[in-house]
Amino acid sequence: MKIVCSPKGIVDKDRPRQGIMDIADAGFLDQGVICGLSEDETDVWGDAACEYRIVEPIVEDVEKDALWTVNREYYLSLLDEARTHNVKILLKNMCRNVGGHLIRGVCSDAAEAVAWVDALNTEAGEARFGFCVDMGVCNVCGQDLNEYITPLGNRVKAVILQDGNGSEAQALLPFTAAYKKTLRTDWLGLIRGLRKIGFDGILILNLEDTVSATSPLLRPALLRYAKQVADYLCWQIGIETTLARYESRVLFGAGNMCRNYLKCYGEKYPPLYTCDNNPHLWGSRLDGLEIHNPEDLKKLDKDTAVFICNIYYREIEQQLRKMGLPNPIVYFNDEYLPQFHFERLTDEGRK
């Protein structure tokens, strides 16, 4: 996956240097892979060479029954230029304003988005068209992101990440639109859906409203944190892809996270065993999986990955490094799994 930060609210088109420097200093290094992030395509971003270009459907002054006809002609007119520059064109879901209320618009129905992309690729005779999911649109339209993303499958080449309150068009830093300790955005559905389709495209972070309301003096720190948030989402989305990368694996931890691993991935990616620092558990089983002494890890083939299934990641990783293990050490997490054990394992339940 590649991570891009939208320049909206950060880069001043008249004096772009400072904003571009702030984005680069935060670690966002892949800005050139996608165009169409700026409303003004004459600016520095629009002139960059790119792999993909987001092109929104034409919706203004078009009758509903004519939307496909008008947009078919429009998108096909871009083919020659796209081929010349070897760029893939990405359609995007839209919302519609009806009497001041935002409702689902063009391509906000997954079946319609699939039909449009497939029809354009058929006429192009190649996979020249793909899709960009704007989760801000899904959020304001009250959509389940898992249900929306899954049918789109590998047509999804990019995702615009942004938070919001669910009733207005907002571009906030992820995990900041919360009320009474509850998030307003369907991050669970997003991650589940992207994991399910094996997404490996571009994540576009749009925090225009957050950064515009932040002092320019604080923006570098905000952007560094935003990069950490984007890296976290990238890690969560790619967990199953990471599991599939290794032919054999063991787990470290014999608690609730281990049980959730077994529930969701135990059959598809079976571990050889799990281990735990609690000597009272050695030799027993957790949901059928044998619990070993961590010292047994030294007997593993060096290509067997050790997946840490415990929130004390850094402490356990340090323990494993001190043991001199040559094996890959990977963090597993159960915050966004396809399903969960709702009854938590207790010390009493282990007996």
The DSSP annotation for 114-128 comes to: HHHHHHHHHHHTSS-
Query: Over the stretch 39-84, which tens digit does the pLDDT of each residue have?
Result: 654 443 344 568 999 999 999 888 888 999 999 999 999 999 999 9
Sequence spans of domains, the chain: 2-237, 245-350
pLDDT of residue 103: 86
In the CATH hierarchy, which fold is given to the domain comprising 2-237? Answer: TIM Barrel (3.20.20)
Q: How far is CA 179 from CA 165, 184, 190, 225, in A?
A: 9, 7, 19, 21
The answer to whether 297 and 328 are in contact (CB under 8 A) is: no
pLDDT of residue 48: 53
What ranges in 158-286 are assigned the alpha helix state H? Answer: 187-196, 208-212, 219-237, 239-244, 256-265
The answer to whether 205 and 226 are in contact (CB under 8 A) is: yes
pLDDT of residue 44: 39
CB neighbourhood size of 133 (10 A):
30
Choosing among 3.40.190.10, 3.20.20.150, 3.40.50.720, 3.10.450.50, the CATH entry for 245-350 is 3.40.50.720
pLDDT of residue 263: 93
Cα separation, 315 vs 294, whole angstroms: 14
pLDDT of residue 187: 94
Buried b (16+ CB within 10 A) or exposed e, 64-103: eeebbeebeeebeebbeebeeeebbbbbbbbbeeeeeebe
Identical fold, 2-237 and 245-350: no
pTM for this predicted structure: 0.88
Residues of the chain with pLDDT under 50: 41-47, 348-351
pLDDT of residue 31: 66
The two structure tokens encoding residue 66: 């004519």
Query: Over the stretch 309-348, which tens digit does the pLDDT of each residue have?
Result: 999 999 999 999 999 999 999 999 999 988 765 566 665 4
Q: Which residues pair with 34 in a beta bridge?
A: 52
pLDDT of residue 72: 96
pLDDT of residue 341: 59
